[in-house]
Amino acid sequence: MTDQRGVQTTALGDFLRSRRARVSPADAGVVSYGTRRVPGLRREELALLAGVSVTYYTRLEQGQSTNASKSVIDAISRALSLSEDEHAHLHDLARPAVTRPRRGAKPDHVRVGTKTLIDAMTAVPAIVLGRSTEVLAWNRLGHALIGGHFGFAAPEKPSTRPNLTRMLFLDSHTRNLYANWDEEASRAVASLRLVAGRYTDDRALVDLIGDLCIASDDFARLWAKHPVHNCMSGTKRLNHPEVGTLDVGFEMLHLPHAPGHRIMTYTAVDGTPAQHSLALLAVLSQGTGRDLTASPVQ
């Protein structure tokens, strides 16, 4: 069994080293001396900037010190010029929440009220995601836009449930769907990093990351860079096999009564070709009452 505490301290050290390497001595106002074997700040330089002892910082980076004080983590964050999302991620890694062991955790399911809500959104594609980016539910238009090559009922059973991150890296249909695949892949990994630092006790999340690191060189390469970003909104350009190219905005809505559950909605600006494409897709999916294809991908 994987030691979650060990995974957490390793992630903390890897994250600190990646961000330390990103900061040049000149940008940090540090006078450089000697030959530098690696880019970025040395440990002793970062410790000096953060106002902590070199020994303490080294123990922290090596995973030998846990539950550092908030003031220390804040000081290190300032010294590294971390973004707001990176700052939150550092706190998650350095001061992990105390959780009870999850023994025999039951498969996750969408709440009835949430499913009723997205089904009522007939003009808006909507998907309910679990903590590990698994699709817990989608409405007809969300299914047609993102996963028409799966059966509509696929999210109802854990054994057939699609996973957006797995689809993005391992499913050729999904890879072709995104016109800017590199951007979408970077965004997905950065978001998953943030979630992984917050929910270290989630076995499904740990397994997903491990599987993708083995099965996808692209995922492994991006994961090793330690990107961190809370992707709550933005735009996507899709090359849809039924209605062609369309630009859609997305919004991620977190559900307070179901920790880790999110609703992702897709919208198009009024009067644009994308809006007309979504309207056409709604006719194709709702009007016929059929799945767009009959070959679900596991």
Query: Domain-by-domain residue ranges, the chain?
Result: 4-94, 112-287
Q: Give the DSSP H/E element, type plus range, for residue 17.
A: helix 4-22
Residues 127, 110: Cα–Cα separation, whole Å: 11
Name the one residue in this structure whose structure tokens are 């050729």: 172
The number of angstroms, rounded, from the C-alpha of 45 to the middle of its chain's C-alpha atoms is 32
Q: Which residues pair with 163 in a beta bridge?
A: 134
The number of angstroms, rounded, from the C-alpha of 43 to the middle of its chain's C-alpha atoms is 29
Give buried/exposed letters for 182-205 (b at 16+ CB in 10 A, else e): eebbbbbbbbbbbbbbbbbebebb
> Which range (47-56, 186-195, 283-292) has the least confidence?
283-292
List the one residue out of 114, 175, 146 whose CA is nearest residue 281.
146
pTM of the model: 0.83
Token pair belonging to 141: 């238009």
Question: What are the backbone angles phi and psi of residue 103, rounded to the nearest 5°?
Answer: -95, 125
> Which range (20-34, 99-113, 126-140, 210-224) has the least confidence?
99-113
Which top CATH class is 4-94?
mainly alpha
> Which range (76-85, 91-100, 129-138, 272-281) has the least confidence?
91-100
Q: Are strands 233-240 and 135-138 parallel, antiparallel or unpaired?
A: unpaired
Which top CATH class is 112-287?
alpha beta
- Segment 38-66, tens digit of pLDDT: 788 889 999 999 999 999 999 888 877 66
What secondary structure does DSSP assign to 54-94, as a single string? HHHHHHHHTT---S--HHHHHHHHHHTT--HHHHHHHHHHH
Neighbours of 213 (CB within 10 A): 14
